[in-house]
Amino acid sequence: MTRLRNVLSSNSRAVPLPQPIAAFYHASDVYDDALLAGCFATDAVLADEGMEYHGPEAVSGHILEANRDAKVTTEITGCTEKNGDTVVTATLSGSFEGSPVPLDFHFTVENGKINALNIVLAGA
């Protein structure tokens, strides 16, 4: 059985998320590289903005660098299951072109770790 955690987004709306995904958003919010890397499997892959990042350190490094540089805040608005993936919809705001932007985070979780993450425009 997958344990769920409620994550409060900036609009104070609690959204239930599977534990590894809740940990991902927490680690991203507090800019904790080791905690974020620990959310991912050793062979994890991140697809974001046409690039791929392989392995926990590369994935967490990319996410934290992008979030820190742009002062990103995340408002989680929904979570659904689709084709075996957990899809989290969130609006990201910050000091980047196009802010705010609605995104879908497609997580594949295996054995309690994120194995794949694909970040795309919401609804794409």
- Structure confidence at residue 5 (pLDDT): 47
pLDDT exceeds cutoff 50 at 10 = no
Model pLDDT, residue 49: 87
Supply the range of the domain harboring residue 55.
4-121
In degrees and rounded to multiples of 5, residue 13 shows phi and psi of -90, 120
| Residue with the two structure tokens 């705010």 | 100
CA distance 121 to 91: 10
- Once rounded to an integer, what is the mean pLDDT over residues 66-95? 92
Element (H, E) at 88: strand 85-93
What's the number of domains the chain is made of?
Answer: 1
CATH number for the domain that contains residue 67: 3.10.450.50
In degrees, rounded to 5, the angle at the alpha carbon of residue 69 between the alpha carbons of residues 97 and 26 is 105
Q: Which of 101, 122, 115 shows the shortest CA–CA distance to 18? A: 115
